[in-house]
């Protein structure tokens, strides 16, 4: 079975969301936050591609790339000008923070937006695809040489270290790195550019075993078409499929009442 990390995380969050998005392919209107997250990540990737290509990586260069990506017809035709400007101002602040604590970093980027495929052997072979935002080698003579896997976010909340440790996305990425490069990463780093904070994680064999079990449970649920709604107030409130979910529940209730009457 082949499974993307996006599919796995969607099913983990809510099996019914997975069904709506990846089985039914229901229409899903992207909100401005979705575009913002995408364009911000692309701008940060551009910064590290500039390092690889020996091109200018100044703050002005980052801002120029952001404006090029953000003020595009797709965004400008979908949202109000005031919302577009507000989000752009937020991005400028975040990118300034990002540049401030990365400009003097002595690193060599090995890969940016590295796409991997991790294979897990079992009764049914499972292939999981995903992406690592940045693979970097620390090039500082005052410290030991390190190879780090980096994932970026811009959340307003400080990351929970326990949840970060058991995150299957980072565990599978580290597992795939070791298989692809036949080398062991020094750290997995969750970099919150909004809070100027890095959570550093060391992966062990037990993390890979746990991730494998979760992935096989997800794969089994998908194969057996077990699609139930999650009970998470925070995620449900933000879900773009909320209306579809409510309609499906109404139909299930109607069918249940109909069966009782028939009996």
| pLDDT tens digits, 12-65 | 999 999 999 999 999 888 899 999 999 999 999 999 999 999 888 889 999 999
Grouping H, G, I as helix, E, B as strand and the rest as coil, residue 138 is strand
Output the pLDDT for position 139.
Answer: 75
The proportion of the chain whose per-residue pLDDT surpasses 90, expressed as a percent, equals 63
Q: What pLDDT shows up at residue 245?
A: 82
Token pair, residue 246, equals 């409510």
218-247 pLDDT tens trace? 999 999 999 998 887 777 877 888 888 877
pLDDT > 70 fraction of the chain, expressed in percent and rounded? 90
Q: Can you state the percent helix, strand and coil of the chain, rounding each to 5?
A: 55, 20, 25
Residues 177-194, mean pLDDT to the nearest whole number: 92
**In Å, how far are 73, 121, 205, 211 from 166, measured between CA atoms?**
39, 21, 12, 8
Residue 251 has pLDDT above 70, yes or no: no
Alpha-carbon distance of 135 to 107, in angstroms, equals 10
DSSP single-letter state for residue 196: T
Cβ atoms of 248 and 241 within 8 Å: the answer is no
Architecture of domain 106-219: Alpha-Beta Complex (3.90)
The residues, any chain, with a CB within 8 Å of residue 60's CB and separated by 6 or more, are none
Tally of helices (H runs) and strands (E runs) in the chain: 11, 6
Q: Is residue 4 within 8 Å of residue 215, measured between CB atoms?
A: no
Beta strand spans in 97-238 (E):
107-120, 126-138, 146-153, 187-192, 197-201
pLDDT at 170: 94
Q: Say whether 46 sits in a helix, a strand or coil.
A: helix
Contacts with 240 (C-beta within 8 Å, 6 or more apart), sequence order: 28, 29, 31
Please tell me the predicted confidence (pLDDT) of residue 194: 80
3-state secondary structure of 240: coil
Reference 114, options 95, 134, 97; nearest CA is 134
Q: Residue 142 — very low, low, confident or very high, per pLDDT cuts 50/70/90?
A: low
Task: For residue 197, list its beta bridge partners.
Answer: 192
Sorted by where each begins, the domain ranges of the chain are: 1-22+226-256, 31-104, 106-219
Highest mean pLDDT among 150-164, 182-196, 245-259: 182-196
């Amino acid at each position: 079975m082949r499974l993307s990390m996006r599919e796995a995380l969607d099913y983990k969050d809510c099996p019914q969301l997975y069904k709506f998005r990846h089985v039914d392919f229901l229409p899903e209107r992207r909100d401005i936050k979705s575009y913002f997250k995408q364009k911000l990540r692309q701008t940060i990737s551009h910064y590290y591609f500039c390092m690889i290509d020996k091109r200018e990586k100044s703050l002005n260069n980052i801002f120029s790339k952001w404006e090029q990506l953000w003020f595009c017809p797709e965004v400008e035709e979908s949202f109000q000008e005031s919302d577009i400007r507000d989000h752009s101002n937020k991005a400028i602040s975040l990118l300034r923070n990002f540049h401030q604590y990365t400009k003097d970093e002595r690193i060599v980027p090995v890969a940016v937006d590295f796409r991997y495929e991790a294979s897990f052997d079992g009764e049914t072979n499972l292939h999981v695809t995903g992406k690592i935002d940045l693979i970097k080698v620390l090039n500082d003579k005052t410290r030991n040489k390190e190879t780090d896997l980096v994932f970026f976010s811009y959340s307003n909340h400080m990351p929970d270290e326990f949840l970060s440790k058991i995150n299957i996305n980072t565990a599978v990425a580290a597992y795939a790195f070791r298989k692809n490069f036949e080398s062991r990463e020094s750290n997995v780093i969750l970099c919150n550019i909004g809070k100027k904070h890095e959570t550093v994680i060391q992966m062990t064999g037990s993390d890979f075993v746990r991730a494998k079990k979760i992935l096989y449970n997800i794969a089994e649920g998908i194969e057996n078409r077990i699609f139930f709604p999650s009970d998470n107030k925070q995620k449900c409130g933000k879900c773009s499929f909320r209306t579809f979910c409510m309609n499906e529940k109404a139909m299930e209730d109607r069918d249940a009442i109909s069966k009782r009457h028939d009996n």
